[in-house]
Chains A and B, each alone.
Chain A
Amino acid sequence: MIKKRMVLRFSKKTWNQPIVYRLVKDFDLAFNILKASVFPKEASLMVLEISGDEAEFDRGMAYLDSHGVVYEPLEANIKKDEERCIHCGACAAVCPTGALAIQRPEMKVVFDTEKCSGCELCVKACPPRVIVATLSSNEVQ
């Protein structure tokens, strides 16, 4: 069993196909929608937590490949610049999942990407703007 948070990008051609349905039906993968931005005839995006058998997961990803869906782990899409982080804590105030949290007693801000749901609330809450999210750019390269 594995569980991964993935960003799926659909092109103008694939936005209306029942692709996630096939992940469930053909590969027995469970999914939990963390974020979805789907517009008619537009490049669209979904953030899913996908879990299932590891081999089936890989086959499911190969299926995405064959249908032109671009996917990446969520952590590749949201990053905190550790060099420039000042550890003020403003992001931890808004983070709904506890992915950004204060490590006590050091009072450092730590980012646990496994808990991140990709909501991006932290991006604009960060005073020195050191959290960069590329989720909003839906375009399939």
Chain B
Amino acid sequence: MAEFKVQKTYKEINEKIKKGKVVVVNAEEMIDIVEEKGAVKAAQEIDVVTTGTFGAMCSSGAILNVGHATPKMKISRAKLNGVPAYCGLAAVDLYIGASELPDEDPRNTVYPGEFKYGGAHVIQDLLSGKPVLMEAWAYGTDCYPRKYLKKELNLHELRNAILFNPRNAYQNYNCAVNSTRRTIYTYMGALKPLFGNATYSTSGQISPLLNDPYFKTIGVGTRIFLGGGQGYVAFYGTQHVFDVPRSPNGTPTEGAGTLCVIGDMKKMDPNWIAAASIQGYGVSMYVGIGVPIPILNEDMARFTAVKDADIVTQIIDYGGDYPKGIDRSLGTVTYKELKDGLITVQGKEVSVTPMASYPKALEISNILKEEIQKGRFYLGEPQATFSQL
């Protein structure tokens, strides 16, 4: 470890948090600090850099333990406000997936579908303190004889409500365009014909996984801001890829790492979880995630100083290539260009809008910063890094 001029441990930083002496900045502020002082001096001065993201993350959901009624019941089918929940677990454990739809939803039969209510809305209603009507069916057993139950669920009355999202916080994501002659409706929003517009979905320079591109500090057990409460990185997320093309600063040039996250829903806040109806596509959920990055050494200072101009992504045609599974990029763009709102695709000037919220992501990084400064949030040292799994 002699290769580093600055060396800090999680324990030392947590000790500083305890004493109220920790120095925390957000990932936006870190850019200028490293530019002015250099990575070594920045690493000496700064202990933690906070990041944030607030984007649509379909691969999300909640584990609910709805408690027993008398007589008891082993639920085999359940609907929450009409939205089916997965019941292939123990008697009264359910999993409500964010993108699940009521059976009656017309989906895309009237194109483009509206997708007014789904699993994410059930989660949002619970978080907002609204009652959710559960209807449950069972075949009945000697130990669990009840066959039907209709009851109102309230978040505070549930025995457990655990947000458990298998794939969140994508490290990088495509910039979407449409080459066809009609408007298409995708999870990247509405895309107008003949490259009429472009969309992207990341908070870029303040996004958690772009500030620790090699997962040096983010691993199993990292404590995070999740939906307004404290949550944890449970594992790498589904579709997580490590061996990807990278820019000289280490950031991947296409979709790469993901996180599987978990946290107690009862401590979350509906300001940081928003149900989303994506026209023509389905229901999704905006999830607010913030990850504190410990500045253990000057490398971490360098990584967290990454800026939009130095992060790139690929322009992907969602009208043709993407649905057909053709792996082709129409070009590379930086997040600076995307954020400025104008890119060139196949010789045409195309206006760009985001799908993820930068203002909300920045707010998350600031909340996390304050929580750490006030000694209410301690760093969780990973029990395993993803490369060890």
Contacts and interface: CB of A to CB of B under 8 A. Distances in A.
B340 A92 contact: no
A108 B276 contact: no
A86 B357 contact: yes
A73 interface: no
B225 interface: no
Contacts of A90: 189-190, 199, 278, 353, 355
B35 to A, nearest CB: 17
A93 B357 contact: no
B274 interface: yes
B190 A88 contact: no
Contacts of B189: 90, 93-94, 125
Interface in B56-70: 56
Contacts of A22: none
Nearest to B204: A107
Contacts of A125: 189-190, 279
B360 interface: yes
Interface residues of A, number: 19
Contact of A86 (B54, B116, B278, B341): B54
Interface string A103-117: 011111000000000
B277 interface: yes
A130 B119 CA distance: 18
Contacts of B284: 127
Contacts of B55: 88
How many chain B residues sit at the interface, stated as a range, is 20 to 34
Contact of A88 (B197, B279, B286, B341): B286
Contacts of B190: 90, 93-94, 125
B276 A127 contact: yes
Interface in B114-135: 114, 116
A59 interface: no
B339 A104 contact: yes
A89 B201 CA distance: 10
B353 A104 contact: no
Contacts of B277: 124, 127-129
Contact of B354 (A107, A124, A128, A129): A107
Nearest to A93: B353
A20 interface: no
B354 A89 contact: yes
A107 B356 CA distance: 10
A90 B360 CA distance: 15
Contacts of A106: 358-359
B56 A107 contact: no
A124 B358 contact: no
B155 interface: no
Interface of B: 54-56, 112, 114, 116, 189-192, 197, 199, 274-279, 284, 286, 339-341, 353-360
14 contacts: A86-B274, A86-B357, A89-B199, A89-B355, A93-B190, A93-B192, A93-B199, A93-B353, A94-B190, A102-B353, A124-B112, A124-B114, A125-B279, A128-B275
